[in-house]
Structure 1
Amino acid sequence: MTIAPETPTTGHEVAVRFSPDGTPLAIRYDGRIWMVDPDIHTAHWFTRDAWWEHRTRVAVGTGDVVSVEYWHVPARPSGANAELHTFMLRREPLAEHWQLESIS
């Protein structure tokens, strides 16, 4: 499935490669590698999930069940002189995979 940049999307799983300092370097999505442009500012922040609305109990020692992590990164397909797109990435609490929230 290919998503046009004009079409917002949510929930598609993506693989993200990070630098040793924790900054995104590349995104694998829809069979392509998208390289993050290191010269353009990326944004990174956390919001809080209302876990009690989804789960009634959380086991002691489960870990952080409230922090939703976001990255807003500019990227283009590798090996191409293509137009730069902005990826909004999200990782839910305790999730192992990143989700594509939107491409613009």
Structure 2
Amino acid sequence: MSTIAEAAPQTHDTLVRLDAAGKPLAIRHDGQIWLVDPDTDSQHWYGRDAWWDTRRTAAVGSGDLVSIEYWRLQVRLDSTSALRTVTLRRDPLSTQWLLEDISDGGETAQN
């Protein structure tokens, strides 16, 4: 299956609905609501921000400044539409989710 990369996502339009445990249920992006497919496995992990490159400073006690949260999910618009793979990212101390990439099917391409 070939992967078709789309134009860079508009990160300011990305809202994520979470369940009580913090797992994404749905994503609103570019005026559409994508439902997370409950029959597929979601991947969740943390990366580290290179804070020394960004030269961010913060007051003592500001919290975790380096953990970047990621989710890779299979989503669809409705029960008959094709699956898409999305990767979400939330930077340290942010409440806003960013759509890092989106692709067709089970393969992900970086935008």
TM-score range (shorter-chain normalised) is 0.7 to 0.9
In structure 1, the partner of 2:59 is 59
Size of the alignment, in residue pairs? Answer: 99
Residue aligning to 1:95: 94
Shift in CA distance, 63/35, structure 1 to aligned 2, threshold 3 Å: same
- Partner in structure 2 of residue 73 of structure 1: 73
Matched, 1:40 2:40: yes
Query: What's the C-alpha RMSD, in Å, of the aligned pairs?
Result: 1.7
Name the structure 1 match of 2:84. Answer: 85
Q: Where does the alignment leave 5 or more consecutive residues of structure 2 unmatched?
A: 104-111
Contact residue 9 and residue 103 of structure 1 kept, 8 A: no
Runs of 4+ in 1 over 4 A off after TM superposition: none
Q: CA deviation at 1:10?
A: 5.1
The alpha-carbon distance between structure 1 residues 47 and 10, as it changes in their structure 2 partners (threshold 3 A), is farther
- TM-superposed CA distance for 1:58, in Å, is 2.1
The structure that is strand-richer by fraction is: 1
Task: Give the whole-Å Cα distance in 2 for the aligned partners of 1:67 and 1:8.
Answer: 27
Amino-acid identity (%): 47
Deviation per residue, 1:14-44 (Å, 9 max, x gap): 1100111111100000111100001100000
**Farther-moved stretch of structure 1 (16-25 vs 53-62):** 53-62
Distance in 1 (alpha carbons) for counterparts of 2:29 and 2:44: 20
- Cα pair 1:87 1:100 within 8 Å, conserved: yes
Query: Displacement of 1:8 after TM fit?
Result: 5.8
Contact 2:10–2:30 at 8 Å: present in 1 too?
A: no
Asked if structure 2 preserves the Cα contact closer than 8 Å seen for 1:64 and 1:93, the reply is yes
How far the C-alpha of 1:11 sits from its partner, in A, is: 6.0
**For structure 1, which runs of at least 5 residues remain unmatched after alignment?**
none
Determine helix, strand or coil for the equivalent of 2:52.
helix
